[in-house]
Structure 1
Amino acid sequence: MADMLRTLTLEDSYRSDRSNVVGEFYVPCLSLANRYDRAVGYFTSKSLALVARGLEGFKRNGGRIRLIASPHLTDGDIDEMRAGYTYREIIAKAVLRELDPDTERPSKELAGLGLLGRLIAQEAMDVKIAIVHGREGLALYHEKIGLISDKYGDTVAFTGSMNETSSAFLDNFESIQVFRSWNENDKGRVDILRSDFDELWAGRTPRLEILDFPAVAKERFIALGERAGELSNETKDPEPLVVSTDLTTLGWARLPHDVELRDYQKTAIAKWLSANGRGVLQMATGTGKTITALAALDQIGRQLHTRDLSLVTVVVVPLLDLVEQWSAELRNFGVVPIKCRDLAASWEPAARNALAALRARRKGSITLVVTNATFRAAAFQALLSSIDLPLLVIADEAHHLGAEHLRTALPAHAQFRLALSATPERWFDPAGTDALKDYFGDILTKLGLKEAIDLGALTRYRYHPVLVPLGDDEAEQYTELTVKIGALMRSQEPDSVSEDDNSPLGMLLGMRSKVLGHARAKMPALREALERHRDSFFQLIYCAEGGAPLIDGGTGPRQVEQVLELAGKELGLRAHTFTSREHKRQRRDLLRSFATGRDLQVLVSMRCLDEGVDLPDARVAYMLASSTNPRQFIQRRGRILRRAPGKSFAEVIDFVVTPPQDPALFEIERRLFRRELARCVEFAGYAENHGEALAKLRELRDYYQLLDV
């Protein structure tokens, strides 16, 4: 169900160097919760105001809060205790001091206290005070745990150093560990934290004394709630309760001191600025498109900042992993972005709050990173339409946005636009390609494979095409599909000629690709290649998706499992699959193990390594299958050619299926094979062993009369 905590994408931990803890954790969780148990450090007005973050949604859910805190004692309080005053009276006085109705408070602080006051008035919030009876007298309770639960019984528990004080939210380096009750690995820890809190609340924890919240303190809380309500009614545009993500630069991106741009990156940025902040950067995978875009964001931000203007930046990416990758790079540039993905409840409150704050202060910048799926959803589109500030759209892997269901979602009022792609031209979709150009502008720079290698942006490589035949039954399937594809392509129906996998042509091309990808002859050829690298690390194997298509319409075993059996069990290589079936945490551990060059030798994948995963250490890639779209091969080769310490060259072993060469299908096969063979020929031509690689492709090029590619 959409309102369950388990539908949120939660990290295992949050640290202020890589996360907006309030916006990414508190707000989405509390927006779906109806119970919040929290044990904090000091009971101060600032800490209480910040506890209120995310509670508007919680309040609408009819939620209940149980809060345990330790009093904030001054030196004077401690002196009075030593002088013999009753400690309970001094603690009550310390609590009341934090809720003094005559104290002048910032409107944000008052708004937060007011919300808690209303919850207390509605008997939706209970507070208790904890003190420790130590060996040398009274001590303060400093445990930091929390449990957030929904109406379905799911609980998110957390513990760590997140003191709910003003400094903890704004200045200090803080971190929390997160545990989910629906995760088998976390359930035991959640149960322990639940038991600990319940025992604490009931006053059954040894050496701890739990005091009821003073009645006078409740009255003061309720009065603060009424005062905050009156102020809200009097103020036409109340200042929103927000936490600045970057106090020193107001959210503007700044190029890190340890990043030195290459000349081609500087040239690309200059061209984009000269084109009034619009255009496409066509740069080979691995050449630093992300850094180039963020450096451009830095430059446009400096121009706007000098004119006292604001900026909202929306970075659109195709995959969840790319959200994390871009967010990490943005943090290196001094920006803590809002990550928009999954349910609107997990990001919309933080995004709207940040926009309100930006309008209120009239200077600065905020950045949103959003997946394609969330970008086109109604909630994000409504947010986009409400933006009345200068807007920059950065599209990573921009070719995806040429699809009809995505290009219609691009905001027409975006003043600045930047598209990034190694392959902006869409496969069999000229309308989508033209739409991208119309929206983003001209291609400003082209950095191809050869130029990137010559400039030292990518590593040199050796390329080994391995030609494999189809079996008789596979050739029969291939021929049948090719006949249907030819008929459809000759019809030139607009709805048929489309890159969309669900279009008639897309479905047929996908079926043809599966036949080629699962060719049985690839397995013995792979064995031979792997045997030459039994002692090597940093190896990637790209497999065909799913199982082999059978002539009766069924499917055979999954190729990824066949390859793991071959590499791991039969050849004794330390190998593991890297697919969507592995949990996100496990995939992260696999990447770390792979990068050591000591533990894991081989990663076996299908599409999970295509976009959004950075593996610069990879040295050897086996291309068992690629989709019908040449873009996939281009992206994969770019990943294997990324530079890394100690990496002098890479090796790509490409398993190329030779079609049955039926004379009746010559023209359609030639048309289909032209682009597929072109990427092989191009890659062979730039390889260190280009003569050898091109020689292996000569016979195929001769037969299909494609010596011009």
Structure 2
Amino acid sequence: MTGQPRGLRSLDLIDRYRSDKEDVVASFFVPAFTVATSYGRAVGYFTSTSLALYARGIEAFAERGGSMRLIASPHLNEDDIVDIERGYDLRQVIERATIRELEQESRETVLDGLGMVGRLIAEGRLDIKLAFVEHEGRVGIYHEKIGVFRDEDGDLVGFTGSSNETYGGLMANFESVEIYRGWVAGDGARALRLEADFQALWSNQTPKLSIECFPDLARDRLVKLGAERPYRPLPGRDDALTPAPVVLSEPSRLTIPGWLEVRDYQRRAIESWLRHQGRGILKMATGTGKTKTAMIAAAQLANVLRQREQPMVVLILAPLQHLVDQWITEVEGFGVRPVAVYESSQKWQPVVEEQLVEARLGQRPVVAIVATNTSFAGEKFQSVLSRITQPLLIIADEAHNLGSSRYRASLPPNATYRLALSATPERWFDDEGTDALIDYFGPIVFELGLGDAIRIGALTRYLYVPRLVELNDDETNLYVALTAQIATRIAAGDELGNADPTSPLGFLLRQRAGVLGHAEGKFAALRGDLSVRSDSWFQLIYCAEGNRPTEPGEPSGPNQLRDVMDLVGNQLHLSAHSYISETPRAERKVLLRRFGTGNDLRVLVAMRCLDEGVDIPDARTGYLLASSSNPRQFIQRRGRLLRRAEGKERAEILDYVAVPPSGAPINFDVERALLTRELQRTNEFGKLAENYETTLDALRPLKERYQLMDM
């Protein structure tokens, strides 16, 4: 080539563009578009707004005959990902997600930009494909960022960098881009490699990635929009990548919804927490509205910080994924869409990072994040957490779970405000963990016990019906043998009250509990109780875990959950469904919705999945076939049944207590000590029940036999 350099070579390009030294858009993208004839770009994700902005950006480029190929991740939500992982038709899910993204926009400037997209597609100047990670049955976000320019002389510029084709990525964030010029020694090979990578993506030849064509239905809608919206050039905007003046809606703020009635005890709890400088534990009975109390506190705190022109980061921690989903719904009710942090960091990390940058720049008043305890303690989220400099509020749901050594070591020291929620913040047989929680979150600043909650109408009244069931001969023989071994361990110095679950004594205690939980006689009692309530809705059955214990060397016994499902569904012909750990999250939501209608599912049969945090206020009758001696579990289960609901006057709890027959050859002192632990539940349930006297009469024979009338 002779004479003056042309095309891309005519540009005074440097190796790197960074926001602290130059405007990345004006210094690199705009000049490149003025001379290039083709552009290929692969980015992490796009929204309808960013796509509209990009169309404006390549307007002049396209008018000169330039063409563009764009690869981006579809904007998948949790339901989309679950459907893909469960084998639903891939193209239908992607089409649904793309149409949803396009339909949610109504702003004129964005629609104008999307109309430009449609015209460019119709003219063959723009082609779009969608990419996502699909590996070993899991779905993730494609998050690479590369690009290539070519000019009419065939010269090449490749680049890689941090910016997304989003409004924040192009115009607001701090960005950097590395440039490789094809005609410069040392750069050429890198530029060609980036172009080869892009071409491999475009032709769907990149391992672990799936590339799908832009859905026809979405393409047709854009083309139609382009035909309906006439071209309106932007006056005074000659540069190729300056976007239209999009009017962005004001970022969401935490506000207390108008329909929410703040109860007096919730107000007192929040005032006490604020008096303790925004630190402390709310010890409130299950079902009294701890979640909403925490969100009201967060909204009030955000309002105070807003008056100081300070943003706020709210981090909510929950032990399980379905609780994260419930919290997300709650937070959205207060006006902010939170980021869910669990599973792959490719899904949540770019969104969290971008929102934190916006908060740092004063563009976002509240960043809300809801994480599982496991993801929170992970290395990637801890790295993000350590870099937060804005006021941070951490809300810990079921906070007792964070008392383990792993989790409490992950709690952020930079959290200015700390709020722990739990009906039972004291950790069972773990004083060290309990003390660590109090050291971090602060003291219990408000307490609402179950009795007070029922008295003031925050929870419903209930009846408690204990059913004493005797073990059969085989169960009694195994029970006697286990009790004898337990007595031997205690005589050797093992402490019953502090038995490590993994110790020999802990194993024996679990086996003994298994015999009681799986007692065959409970089925006859359950059949009778279900039969007289066959016309009732909103019934929960809690089963024992695993299979019925047997003598050493014998095969495992039957599975109680399967037997109960057979009893309820096949024998009694009641509409029922299991609700267990293997039930997918999406299906759990459907089951709870069906259960709550009062005309579909009469019975949910569970093991442990209806313990912590699941919101099923309509539940009225609970059958406890088995429950551990851990107070937290049986208190949580009772709480599931005592939540208020329209038309719900009282709940009923039927508790099946298996005992050895009178006269069984058992060490009296050991059995008395063990039974004391068992009867903690019956005493706890009975003392606040409306039928307390009836409960005492039902338990009297057992207490008299073991000299426990003073309990």
Alignment of 1:464-543 (within 5 A): 464-482=465-483, 497=498, 502=502, 506-543=506-543
CA distance in 2, matches of 1:73, 1:272: 44
Are 1:473 and 1:551, in contact at CA under 8 Å, matched by a contact in 2?
A: no
Deviations 1:322-362 (A, max 9, x none): 00100100000111111100122221221122222222228
1:263 Cα deviation (Å)? 1.0
Are 1:36 and 1:148, in contact at CA under 8 Å, matched by a contact in 2?
A: no
Q: How many percent of aligned residue pairs carry the same amino acid?
A: 43
Alignment of 1:119-518 (within 5 A): 122-123=194-195, 151=206, 155=210, 248=250, 250-361=251-362, 364-482=365-483, 497=498, 502=502, 506-518=506-518
CA distance in 1, matches of 2:477, 2:406: 36
Specify the alignment match of 2:545 in structure 1.
Answer: 545
Alignment of 1:559-598 (within 5 A): 559-598=560-599
Specify the alignment match of 1:139 in structure 2.
Answer: none
Deviations 1:680-705 (A, max 9, x none): 12321222222111211122233344
1:627 Cα deviation (Å)? 2.5
Summarize the Cα distance change of 1:568–1:89 in structure 2 as closer, same or farther, 3 Å threshold. closer
1:613 Cα deviation (Å)? 2.2
Q: In structure 2, which of residues 170, 177, 185 is the aligned counterpart of residue 109 of structure 1?
A: 170
Alignment of 1:679-698 (within 5 A): 679-698=681-700
CA distance in 2, matches of 1:409, 1:279: 18
Are 1:37 and 1:148, in contact at CA under 8 Å, matched by a contact in 2?
A: no
Amino acid at match of 1:518: H
CA distance in 1, matches of 2:428, 2:355: 38
Amino acid at match of 1:699: P
Specify the alignment match of 1:179 in structure 2.
Answer: none
Summarize the Cα distance change of 1:473–1:151 in structure 2 as closer, same or farther, 3 Å threshold. farther
Summarize the Cα distance change of 1:421–1:668 in structure 2 as closer, same or farther, 3 Å threshold. farther
CA distance in 2, matches of 1:49, 1:93: 13
1:271 Cα deviation (Å)? 0.7
1:296 Cα deviation (Å)? 1.0
CA distance in 2, matches of 1:208, 1:300: 44
Are 1:52 and 1:115, in contact at CA under 8 Å, matched by a contact in 2?
A: no
Residue 351 of structure 1 aligns to a residue whose secondary structure is helix
Alignment of 1:25-104 (within 5 A): 44-46=52-54
Are 1:518 and 1:544, in contact at CA under 8 Å, matched by a contact in 2?
A: yes
CA distance in 1, matches of 2:693, 2:646: 28
Using the TM superposition, name which of 283-292 and 672-681 deviates more. 672-681
Residue 707 of structure 1 aligns to a residue whose secondary structure is coil
Are 2:52 and 2:111, in contact at CA under 8 Å, matched by a contact in 1?
A: no
Using the TM superposition, name which of 318-327 and 690-699 deviates more. 690-699
Deviations 1:117-141 (A, max 9, x none): 99999547999xxxxxxxxxxxxxx
1:268 Cα deviation (Å)? 0.7
Summarize the Cα distance change of 1:149–1:515 in structure 2 as closer, same or farther, 3 Å threshold. farther
Amino acid at match of 1:703: R
CA distance in 2, matches of 1:388, 1:342: 25
Deviations 1:656-677 (A, max 9, x none): 1225677864444444433431
Deviations 1:355-400 (A, max 9, x none): 2222222872212111111122111222222222222211111111
Specify the alignment match of 2:139 in structure 1.
Answer: none
Specify the alignment match of 1:626 in structure 2.
Answer: 627
1:44 Cα deviation (Å)? 3.8
Summarize the Cα distance change of 1:561–1:43 in structure 2 as closer, same or farther, 3 Å threshold. closer
Summarize the Cα distance change of 1:461–1:307 in structure 2 as closer, same or farther, 3 Å threshold. same
CA distance in 2, matches of 1:328, 1:287: 18
Residue 361 of structure 2 aligns to a residue whose secondary structure is helix
CA distance in 1, matches of 2:591, 2:110: 48
Residue 556 of structure 1 aligns to a residue whose secondary structure is coil
CA distance in 1, matches of 2:168, 2:337: 24
Summarize the Cα distance change of 1:486–1:340 in structure 2 as closer, same or farther, 3 Å threshold. farther
Amino acid at match of 1:270: E
Q: Which runs of 5+ in 2 are unaligned?
A: 1-40, 59-69, 75-97, 103-108, 128-148, 150-165, 181-189, 228-236
Residue 656 of structure 1 aligns to a residue whose secondary structure is strand
Amino acid at match of 1:620: T
CA distance in 2, matches of 1:598, 1:654: 26
Summarize the Cα distance change of 1:73–1:438 in structure 2 as closer, same or farther, 3 Å threshold. closer
CA distance in 1, matches of 2:582, 2:463: 32
CA RMSD between the two structures: 4.8
CA distance in 1, matches of 2:632, 2:521: 25
1:634 Cα deviation (Å)? 0.8
Summarize the Cα distance change of 1:106–1:550 in structure 2 as closer, same or farther, 3 Å threshold. closer
1:267 Cα deviation (Å)? 0.7
CA distance in 2, matches of 1:156, 1:682: 58
Structure index of larger Rg:
2
Specify the alignment match of 1:556 in structure 2.
Answer: 557
Are 1:486 and 1:668, in contact at CA under 8 Å, matched by a contact in 2?
A: yes
CA distance in 1, matches of 2:110, 2:671: 82
1:601 Cα deviation (Å)? 1.1
1:148 Cα deviation (Å)? 13
Amino acid at match of 2:382: Q
In the superposition, the TM-score normalised over structure 1's length comes to 0.68
Specify the alignment match of 1:706 in structure 2.
Answer: 708
1:419 Cα deviation (Å)? 0.9
In the superposition, the TM-score normalised over structure 2's length comes to 0.68
Using the TM superposition, name which of 343-352 and 472-481 deviates more. 472-481
CA distance in 2, matches of 1:89, 1:597: 50
Are 2:578 and 2:605, in contact at CA under 8 Å, matched by a contact in 1?
A: yes
Using the TM superposition, name which of 271-280 and 399-408 deviates more. 399-408
1:446 Cα deviation (Å)? 1.9
Deviations 1:293-338 (A, max 9, x none): 1111112222222223232221110110000100100000111111
Are 2:43 and 2:72, in contact at CA under 8 Å, matched by a contact in 1?
A: no
Residue 366 of structure 1 aligns to a residue whose secondary structure is strand
Deviations 1:517-550 (A, max 9, x none): 1111111111111111111111111111121122
CA distance in 1, matches of 2:416, 2:339: 21
CA distance in 2, matches of 1:301, 1:209: 42
Summarize the Cα distance change of 1:120–1:626 in structure 2 as closer, same or farther, 3 Å threshold. farther
CA distance in 2, matches of 1:381, 1:549: 42
Residue 423 of structure 1 aligns to a residue whose secondary structure is coil
Summarize the Cα distance change of 1:209–1:593 in structure 2 as closer, same or farther, 3 Å threshold. closer
CA distance in 1, matches of 2:525, 2:640: 23
Are 1:311 and 1:366, in contact at CA under 8 Å, matched by a contact in 2?
A: yes
Are 1:574 and 1:602, in contact at CA under 8 Å, matched by a contact in 2?
A: yes
Is residue 2:601 matched to residue 1:600? yes
Residue 548 of structure 2 aligns to a residue whose secondary structure is strand
1:152 Cα deviation (Å)? 5.1
CA distance in 1, matches of 2:489, 2:340: 42
